[in-house]
């Protein structure tokens, strides 16, 4: 099986970003255009619905891959604090375009972003983008890792149940926070990250359990190709991008804003 493992971390990121772009183009342009009666093509509603579901299905691949890579990053990063602060910073940067693109109900096609934000100001306190889910997941596994590192019993039969209790308690707190702030994927996202972390020594088992878990959420069973790609991961980062690695972070807010502007220019 190892001879088939030819996908590195950078390749996974590119695949996830591409999948996410297709998903967000569909949700950010196609859905509001049809919903607001601006579609003038010849396709029927049923045909549009099939296309919509298929394209959103492609997009389901992205999130599990990002969770998977989060654990890889957590394992190998030199500074977990800097990793967490990066997620927080880009989460804050991404919030306004995220809210306007997917949740705005007033001035949906208003290219004046400040006016659109004022018209939909309630959105900033109603939900949070996926960076906050990833941040909470990172903090949860960091807390679990730190706690378990401080508890070292010689008897495995004692260590195992205590470690599970600690992991469940910390995960529960993280899930509660994600639920309260209504972050993207909330409880499911945080739990999937913990699954990938806690079972990291069992490579294929964690993927099977992870897929079974996330597929309970709506149409997330469409994420199956992503789990196949993760199974082909070669545990290598790929080319060292240096500071350019932040382009992957920046892709999220930039593409959200770009899609919103395109929507407004075409249909505003």
Query: Residue 258 above 90 pLDDT?
Result: yes
Measure the CA–CA gap between 85 and 56, rounded to whole angstroms.
30
Confidence of residue 157 (pLDDT cuts 50, 70, 90): low
Q: Where are the domains of the chain?
A: 2-267
pTM greater than the 0.85 cutoff: yes
Provide the pLDDT confidence category of residue 74 given band limits of 50, 70 and 90: very high
Backbone angles phi, psi at 233, to 5 degrees: -65, 135
| Listed residue (229, 248, 255, 157) closest to 4, CA to CA | 229
Helices (H), the chain: 9-25, 31-35, 45-59, 62-76, 80-103, 113-119, 123-126, 130-150, 156-180, 186-198, 203-214, 224-231, 246-267
Strand, coil or helix: 187: helix
Task: Output the pLDDT for position 154.
Answer: 52
Question: What separation, in Å, do the N-terminal and C-terminal C-alpha atoms of the chain show?
Answer: 52
Residue with tokens 């913990």: 194
Question: Taking residues 25-48, what's their average pLDDT?
Answer: 93
pLDDT at 158: 59
Cβ 120 vs Cβ 173: under 8 Å: no
What CA–CA distance (Å, rounded) separates 2 from 72? 18
Least confident range from 60-64, 109-113, 240-244: namely 240-244
180 DSSP 8-state letter: H
């Amino acid at each position: 099986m190892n001879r088939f493992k030819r996908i590195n971390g950078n390749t996974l990121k590119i695949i996830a970003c591409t999948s996410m772009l297709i998903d967000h183009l569909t949700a950010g342009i196609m859905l509001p255009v049809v919903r607001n009666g601006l579609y003038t093509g010849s396709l029927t509603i049923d045909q549009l619905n099939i296309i919509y579901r298929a394209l959103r299905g492609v997009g389901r691949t992205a999130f599990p891959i990002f969770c998977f890579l989060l654990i890889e990053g957590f394992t190998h990063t030199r500074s977990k604090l800097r990793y967490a602060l990066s997620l927080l910073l880009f989460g804050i940067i991404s919030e306004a375009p995220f809210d306007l693109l997917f949740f705005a109900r007033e001035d949906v096609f208003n290219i004046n972003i400040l006016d659109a934000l004022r018209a939909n100001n309630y959105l900033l306190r109603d939900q949070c983008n996926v960076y906050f889910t990833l941040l909470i997941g990172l903090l949860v596994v960091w807390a679990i890792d730190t706690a378990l590192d401080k508890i070292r019993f010689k008897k495995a039969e004692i260590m195992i149940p205590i470690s599970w209790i600690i992991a469940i308690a910390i995960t529960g707190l993280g899930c509660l926070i994600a639920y309260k702030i209504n972050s993207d994927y909330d409880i499911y996202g945080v739990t999937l990250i913990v699954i990938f972390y806690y079972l990291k020594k069992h490579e294929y088992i964690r993927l099977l359990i992870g897929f079974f878990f996330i597929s309970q959420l709506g149409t997330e069973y469409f994420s199956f190709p992503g789990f196949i790609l993760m199974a082909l991961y070669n545990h290598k980062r790929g080319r060292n991008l240096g500071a350019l690695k932040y382009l992957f972070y920046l892709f999220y807010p930039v593409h959200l804003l770009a899609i919103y502007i395109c929507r407004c220019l075409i249909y505003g």
